[in-house]
Structure 1
Amino acid sequence: MAKKANHQEKKPLPKKPPSSSFPIGKLFLVTAVLAGLASFYVYKVLTTPPDLPELDLNQWWGPYPIDQQKDESIRPFKIEFSDVVVNDLRERLLHRRPFVPPLEDAGFTYGFNSNFLTRVLDYWQNSYKFKDREMFLNQYNHYVTKIQGLDVHFMHVKPKVSPDVMVVPLLLLHGWPGSVREFYELVPKLTAPRDDVAFVFELVAPSLPGAGFSQGAARPGFGPIQIAGIMHQLMQRLGHTKYYVQGGDAGHTVGSLLATYYPQNVLGFHTNFPTLTFSSRASLYVFLGSFWPSLVVEPELESRLYPLGKHVSHLLEESGYMHIQATKPDTIGTALTDSPAGLAAYILEKFSTWTNPEFRKAGDGKLLDKFQLTHLLDNVMIYWVSNSITTSMRLYAETMNKKMLAVRIDDIPTDVPTWGIKFKHELLFHPDCVLRLKYKNYVASSVVEDGGHFAAMEMPDLMAEDIFKAVATFREFHEANTPASSAQTVYDFTVKDLNGREVKLDQYRGHVLLIVNVASQCGLTDTNYKQLNQLYEKYESKGLRILAFPCNQFGGQEPGSPEDIFKFTKNRNVKFDLFEKIEVNGDEAHPLWKFLKTIQRGTMGDFIKWNFSKFIVNKHGIPVARFGPNTDPVDLEPYLEKEL
C-alpha cells in the first residue's frame, strides 16, 4: 500500500532581527545633538545678559490721593526722642516679663543670651542718656524731601574746607538692620582734608525707604530697583548729576543697581559687601571652583570660600531671619514693634554674630569687644522711634521673590569702575574673577584679616582710608579712559600739580588760560619763562591764568624730579601754576593735551613739535588758538586781550 504523502506545511523560518547597529548609532547621534543643543542653550542663557527692566520714575508709592502739585522742597528735619516716647519705652522695659534662662554654656548659639539681654535692657532703661543722644544724632544736618510720594530722609554733610580743596559728592547707603547711625564715626574722617589726596567728600546719607526716618511704600512691588531710582533722583535734586556711591548689605544691592541703571552718573562704586547674590553664573563659578579652588580663588583666600559645604552650612544657619522676612515680614514685625526687648535682641544679635561667628560662643556675644553699647542702642532707638522695623523688613519680601530673582540683576554688566573691601568675617565672599562677571571695570579689592558686616561702625578709620583710595583710583580711571573726543571743554579734565595733588580744571572756569609745555634745559627756556612771567604779572588781575606742564619728550630737556623743577622755577620767581611732568605726544599723552591737539590742530600734523607750544583757552573752557614754540609769549598779547 502506498505511503501517505506528508502534507504538513513547513513553518517559515523566523526572520532575523534587523541589525541593532543602525538604531543605536542613530540614538547616539540624536542624543549627542540634543546634548549639544542643550549645552548651547545653557551657555547662551548664562552668557547673554538679560534686558535691564524698565523703571518708572513717576510711579506713586505713597498713600493716595496723589498730590496734584509736585512738591520738590527740601525740608529741615530733627530727630526727636520725645518725652512721650521715652516714658512709654521705659515703662515697657520696666514691666517686661521674666526671660527664660539660657541653656548652660550656650552663649549666643541659640540666639541672644537672655542673661546678657537683661544687662542691655537695664542699661537702656536707666543709663542711656536720651537727650544727650538726641543731640548727638542731630549734630549733622538732616532733611526730608518727597520723591514719588514718599518722604525720604537724608543726612547731608558739607565739608568746611578752603576753596582750593576739591569737594566731590558721595552717596552713603546703609544696610539692614543698620541705619544712618552706622556712618557717624565715618563722617568726620571723610570730610577732613588729607595729605595724600586733593579732595574731600560732601556726604549724602539717606535712610533707605522703609527704614529709619524714610517713609515706606503703601503698596507691594517697591523693591531695590525702585529704591535705586529714588536715590538717583535725590542726588539729582541736590544738584549732583555725577557722584560716587558707597554701600554695604542692602546698600550694596541698591548701589550696584545705581551703577547698572545710571553708568553716566555714577563715577565709581565702593562696596564693603562685594558679592553677586543674584547671579546664576557666579553660583556656577563658585560651585565648579569647589573641585579645583585655585582656578577661582587665590590660595591665601581659599578658606573664605572653600570647602563650600562648610560655608553653605554656616550661611543657612545665619539666614533664618531672611526666610522669615522674605515671606512673613509683617508677622515678626508686629512682635518687634510691640516689644523693645524683642527689638533690641533681634537687631543686636546680628551685630554679634555677623561681626565674627566665633562670638556666638560667648555669653555676652562679645558685643562690647567691637562696639559701645550706647552706639548700638542709638541704632535700635532709630528703629523704635520711627516705628520702622516692619517696613524695613518688607524689603526682603520685595527682593527675594520670583519676580525679582527672574530679573537676574547681577548678570547685567556695568562699566562703572568698582572697588571692593573684603572683611574676613563677612557673610559672603566672592573672588575678584567672579565679581568681574558683572563689574567689567572692577579695579581692585582690599583684603582685611579682621572685621565683619558692620564695617563703618567697627573699623571707621580703615573704611575711610579705603574709600579715599578707591575714589582716587576712580578719578585716575576716568582720566585715563576719557577720550578727548568726548570732552567738550578743558573743564572736563583733572590734572596733578607738582606735589601730586589732583586739580580739577573746572576751578579755572571764567578765566582765560594759556597752557604751555615747558622744559628747564631748552634753548627757548630763558626767553619763554621771562616773558610768561611778564604776561602773568600784567594780566593776572584781568583773569589770565598760565598753566605750565613740564615735559621731557623733546631732547630730554626736562629730566629733573618735581623737587628739581620746583627749585628751578622758584629761582626764576615763577608765580603761575605748575603741574606734574607729563607726555604731550604718543599713546601716553595726557588726555588734556590730546584734547587740545584735537580742537586746535597743527599746520604740519597735530603733534606737539617742541618745548613751549602754546594754547589759548577762552573763558568758556574752549581752546581758541594755538602757537608754535618759536612764537614768543609777548606776541600773544593781542590774542589774550581779545579774550580777556
Structure 2
Amino acid sequence: MSDKKKSAGKKDSTKKEKERKNASLKTVKSSFNWFKIITIFSAAVTVVLSAHLYNTVTTSKEVPKLNVDEWWGPLPMNPKQDLSIRPYRIEFSDVIVNDLRERLMHRRPFTPPLEDVGFKYGFNTNFLARVLDYWQNSYDFASREKFLNQFNHFVTNIQGLDIHFMHVKPKHTDDSQHTVVPLLLLHGWPGSVREFYELVPRLTAPRAGSRVVFEVIAPSLPGYGFSQGAVRPGLGPLEVAVVLRNLMQRLGHSQYYVQGGDWGHFIGSNLATLFPGEVLGFHTNMPIVASHPLVPVVTIFGMFFPSLVVEPELHSRMYPWGQKLAFTVEETGYLHEQATKPDTVGVALTDSPAGLAAYILEKFSTWTNPAFKKAGDGELLNKFALTHLLDNVMIYWATNSITTSMRLYAEHFSKRYMEHKMDQVHTTVPTWGIKFKHELGFQPDCILKLKYKNYLHSTIVEDGGHFAAFELPDVMADDIFKAVNTFIEFHEQKKKEAAEKPIDPEPHKKATTVYDFTVKDINGNDVKLDKYRGHVLIIVNVASQCGLTSTNYQELNALYDKYAKSRGLRILAFPCNQFLGQEPGTAKDILTFTKERGVKFDLFEKVDVNGDTAHPLWKFLKQTQSGTFGDFIKWNFSKFIVDKNGVPVERLAPNVNPSELEPLLAKYW
C-alpha cells in the first residue's frame, strides 16, 4: 500500500474516531440532561407529596359526635330516672373485713423469689408476706374508714350509672381576693380517689399570690371504686368524658378546669376536645400524644438530630430510644392482657386479696421509680406509707371493682374508639403539662403541640413518678395553681384582643367562601367553618313545628347516613324562628326535639336568616345564590349546596325534599 493511501486511511480512521467520541459525548450529555430533568422532577414530586402528607396528618380530624344521653345502665330504662344527688358514706362492713381476714389467714404458701432479684420478676413474695400480715393484723379498718370519710362524698345517677364523687369546697369563701373555681380531678389505674387525699386540702386552702382557690370535684371513674360500671360494651375514654361532663352539668358547673393523669389524662383531654366551651383549662401530669402519626417520625428524627427535638437537659428522658422502647415493652405486659382479656385476669384478682395487693402495689413501686425494682421491698415505703397504699387496694377489694376497672383498657383499644383518632383532633383549650422524671412516657413540647394548639407550658420536675398527686402533693398543688392562674390570663388576653379587633359590619361582602365565617353550635361553642374544607355541604334553616319538619329531618338523616362516610357529606342545620314562630324553643328544647328524631348531623345556634339581623353566613349564602323572587329566604328548610371549595353552588326551595338533592350532590363529589 502506498504512503498516500496509508495517510488517507489514517485520516479517515481519526475522523471516524472523533465522530464516535462526539456521538458518545452527545449521548452522555443527553443522558445527563435527562437525569437532571428526572432528578428535578422527582425532587419536586417528593416535596409536593411530602407537603401534602404533612398537611394531611397535621390537619385536625373532626370532633366526633356522641350521644350525650347514651344509656349504660340496666334495661329497661326507668322513665322516672332519679336525678338527685345523694350523700354517700364509705363503709368497710364486718362481712367484708371478716371475709378478707379469713382469706388472708388461709392463703397458700407463696413460691419463694429467686436470689437477689428484688422486684425484677414482679412483686417479691418475701416482702408480700409482710404486707399481707400487716393488712390482716395491723391495718385499722375502722380508723381508715373514718379517714376516707373526712371529705363529703356523694352519688348521683348519670346515664344509668351511679357515679360517686368527692365534693370539697374551700372553708373560707368570704375572701374577696380569691375567686372560687371548680376543678375536676381525675385519677387513673390502678389508682382511685385515695390518691387525692393529701392534695385536696392544699387546693382548697387560699394562698398568697393566687387569684383563685378550688372547689374540688373528684369522681371515681365509672367501674372504679364506688362508681358503677357499664353493663354493655362501649364505655371508653370518650364516653366516660361525656358522663363526667354531665356530672359537672348536674352540679351546676357550665365551665370548669380539669386535671388528670393516666386515664385521667386521656379522659381530661377528651373533655377539653369535645367541650371546648366548657373546659377553661386542662392540666395534665402525664402529657403525651400517644397515637399521632408524626410521633414516630419526630422520635426517629431526634435520634439523629436530638437538639432539634428535645432540650439537651431532657435528652436522657427520651433517648437512647432502644432502651426506652425496651422499658416500655417490659412495663406494658399488663396493658396487653387488660386490653384483650380483662375478665380473665379479673377472676384471679377478685378471688384473691393477696393477688390483688401484689398486682396493684407492684405498679406503685416500678412506676414511681424504675430503679426501685432492684430492692427486695421495691422501696415501696421509701415514698409511701403502707397504710396509705392499702387504702387504695382496700377500695378495689371492698367494691369488687378490679374487673370493671380493667375493662376500660379493652374499650380504649377497641375499633370503636380508635376510629375517632382523637390524638389528631386538635384541642384549642389552653393546656399545661407537668413532667415528672420517672413518668412512664416522655414527649417534648413539639410533639404535644401537634394536638394541643394552645399548649402553654411544661413544668420539669427532677423527681417523682406516675402517682404524682399521691407522692408529691405539694409540687402538684403548686403547679395546678400556677396553671389555672395562667389559664385565666390566657382568656383575659383573648378577650382583650377580640375587643380591640375592629368588627366588620358587613363581613359577607368581603367573603369568598363559607370558610370565612365562624358560627356557634347549639351548645354555644365557636365553630370555624374552615373545619369543613374538602367536604360537600348542605346548609339548611330548620324548625321544629313546621309541616315540612318530619319529612325533611327524616330525609336529611337518610342522606347523612348514606353519604357522610362514603362521600364526606356534611349537613349544617340552623334553627330559625322567623317563619310564623315555628322554632320558639330554647337551645335545650331544640336539642331534645332533634334527639327524639335521631338527628345525627351538625346543629347550630338559632339565627335569623332574613333582615338586618340575619347572620352574616346567611347574608353571604343569599348574596351568592339569589332566589327566584329575590334573595330573601322564603320559608323553613331552604337548602344551599356548597362544593368542596366552600363555594355555594345550588339553592333549593323549601318544597324540594332532601331526597331530590342526590343528583345535584353527585355533580360535586
CA distance in 2, matches of 1:198, 1:50: 36
CA distance in 1, matches of 2:457, 2:48: 37
Which residue of 279, 298, 302 maps to 1:289? Answer: 302
CA distance in 1, matches of 2:413, 2:320: 26
Partner SS for 1:290: helix
Q: Does 1:86 pair with 2:134?
A: no
Q: How big is the shift at 1:404?
A: 2.2
Question: Match for 2:453: what amino acid?
Answer: K
Which residue of 169, 178, 199 maps to 2:212? Answer: 199
TM score, norm. by length of structure 2:
0.68
- The equivalent of 2:331 in structure 1 is 318
Q: Answer with 404-413 or 381-390: which moved more.
A: 404-413
Q: What aligned pairs does 1:345-360 form with structure 2 within 5 A after superposition?
A: 345-360=358-373
Q: What aligned pairs does 1:508-527 form with structure 2 within 5 A after superposition?
A: none
- The equivalent of 2:429 in structure 1 is 416
Question: Match for 1:406: what amino acid?
Answer: E
- The equivalent of 1:103 in structure 2 is 114
Q: Please identify runs of 4+ aligned residues in structure 1 that moved more than 6 A.
A: 19-22, 24-34
CA distance in 2, matches of 1:95, 1:310: 42
Q: How big is the shift at 1:32?
A: 6.9
Partner SS for 1:241: coil
Cα gap change, 1:203/1:42 in structure 2, threshold over 3 Å: closer, same or farther? same
Q: How big is the shift at 1:34?
A: 7.3
Q: Does 1:222 pair with 2:235?
A: yes
- Whether contact under 8 Å (1:61, 1:218) holds in the other structure is yes
Question: Match for 1:362: what amino acid?
Answer: A
Which residue of 449, 464, 469 maps to 2:482? Answer: 469
Which residue of 110, 133, 151 maps to 1:140? Answer: 151
Q: Does 1:446 pair with 2:480?
A: no
CA distance in 2, matches of 1:282, 1:320: 22
Q: How big is the shift at 1:89?
A: 0.3
CA distance in 1, matches of 2:456, 2:54: 27
Q: What aligned pairs does 1:312-461 form with structure 2 within 5 A after superposition?
A: 312-461=325-474
Q: How big is the shift at 1:182?
A: 0.2
- The equivalent of 1:154 in structure 2 is 165
Q: How big is the shift at 1:161?
A: 0.6
Q: How big is the shift at 1:415?
A: 1.5
- Whether contact under 8 Å (1:278, 1:405) holds in the other structure is no
Partner SS for 1:112: coil
Q: How big is the shift at 1:486?
A: 7.0
Q: What aligned pairs does 1:264-279 form with structure 2 within 5 A after superposition?
A: 264-279=277-292
Partner SS for 2:432: strand
- Whether contact under 8 Å (2:58, 2:450) holds in the other structure is no
TM score, norm. by length of structure 1:
0.70
Cα gap change, 1:40/1:468 in structure 2, threshold over 3 Å: closer, same or farther? closer
- The equivalent of 2:87 in structure 1 is 76
- The equivalent of 2:543 in structure 1 is none
Partner SS for 1:378: helix
Q: How big is the shift at 1:70?
A: 3.0
Q: How big is the shift at 1:278?
A: 2.4
Q: What aligned pairs does 1:483-498 form with structure 2 within 5 A after superposition?
A: 483=496
- The equivalent of 2:13 in structure 1 is none
Cα gap change, 1:38/1:477 in structure 2, threshold over 3 Å: closer, same or farther? closer
Q: Does 1:480 pair with 2:493?
A: yes
- The equivalent of 2:20 in structure 1 is none
**Residues matched between the structures, number:** 469
Question: Match for 1:350: what amino acid?
Answer: K
Question: Match for 1:175: what amino acid?
Answer: G
Q: How big is the shift at 1:30?
A: 9.3
- The equivalent of 1:542 in structure 2 is none
Question: Match for 1:73: what amino acid?
Answer: S
CA distance in 2, matches of 1:131, 1:143: 20
Q: How big is the shift at 1:235?
A: 0.7
- Whether contact under 8 Å (2:71, 2:159) holds in the other structure is yes
- Whether contact under 8 Å (2:429, 2:454) holds in the other structure is yes
Partner SS for 1:467: helix
Q: What aligned pairs does 1:24-103 form with structure 2 within 5 A after superposition?
A: 39=50, 42-103=53-114
- Whether contact under 8 Å (2:61, 2:426) holds in the other structure is no
Cα gap change, 1:241/1:374 in structure 2, threshold over 3 Å: closer, same or farther? same
C-alpha RMSD over aligned residues: 2.1
CA distance in 2, matches of 1:85, 1:424: 39
- Whether contact under 8 Å (2:238, 2:417) holds in the other structure is no
Cα gap change, 1:35/1:406 in structure 2, threshold over 3 Å: closer, same or farther? farther
Cα gap change, 1:271/1:115 in structure 2, threshold over 3 Å: closer, same or farther? same
Q: How big is the shift at 1:21?
A: 6.8
Q: Answer with 34-43 or 318-327: which moved more.
A: 34-43
Q: How big is the shift at 1:36?
A: 6.2
Question: Match for 1:255: what amino acid?
Answer: G
Unaligned runs of 5+ residues in structure 1 are 1-18, 488-644
CA distance in 2, matches of 1:27, 1:457: 62
Question: Match for 1:142: what amino acid?
Answer: H
Cα distance per residue 1:548-588 (max 9 Å; x no partner) = xxxxxxxxxxxxxxxxxxxxxxxxxxxxxxxxxxxxxxxxx
- The equivalent of 2:246 in structure 1 is 233
- The equivalent of 1:209 in structure 2 is 222
Q: Answer with 407-416 or 369-378: which moved more.
A: 407-416
CA distance in 2, matches of 1:480, 1:37: 38
- The equivalent of 1:6 in structure 2 is none
- The equivalent of 1:249 in structure 2 is 262
Cα gap change, 1:118/1:162 in structure 2, threshold over 3 Å: closer, same or farther? same
- Whether contact under 8 Å (1:421, 1:447) holds in the other structure is yes
- Whether contact under 8 Å (1:282, 1:437) holds in the other structure is no
Partner SS for 1:151: strand
Cα distance per residue 1:171-221 (max 9 Å; x no partner) = 000010000000000011111111121321000000011111111111111
Partner SS for 2:304: coil
Q: Does 1:130 pair with 2:175?
A: no
Question: Match for 2:301: what amino acid?
Answer: L
CA distance in 1, matches of 2:479, 2:54: 37
Question: Match for 2:64: what amino acid?
Answer: P
CA distance in 1, matches of 2:40, 2:299: 33
Cα gap change, 1:162/1:207 in structure 2, threshold over 3 Å: closer, same or farther? closer
Question: Match for 1:86: what amino acid?
Answer: V
CA distance in 1, matches of 2:401, 2:86: 20
Question: Match for 2:148: what amino acid?
Answer: L
Cα gap change, 1:486/1:456 in structure 2, threshold over 3 Å: closer, same or farther? same
Q: What aligned pairs does 1:586-597 form with structure 2 within 5 A after superposition?
A: none
Identity of aligned residues (%): 65
Q: What aligned pairs does 1:598-617 form with structure 2 within 5 A after superposition?
A: none
- The equivalent of 2:130 in structure 1 is 119
CA distance in 2, matches of 1:483, 1:54: 32
- Whether contact under 8 Å (2:342, 2:403) holds in the other structure is yes
Q: How big is the shift at 1:49?
A: 1.7
CA distance in 1, matches of 2:86, 2:492: 37
- Whether contact under 8 Å (2:164, 2:227) holds in the other structure is yes
- Whether contact under 8 Å (1:281, 1:411) holds in the other structure is no
Q: Answer with 395-404 or 136-145: which moved more.
A: 395-404
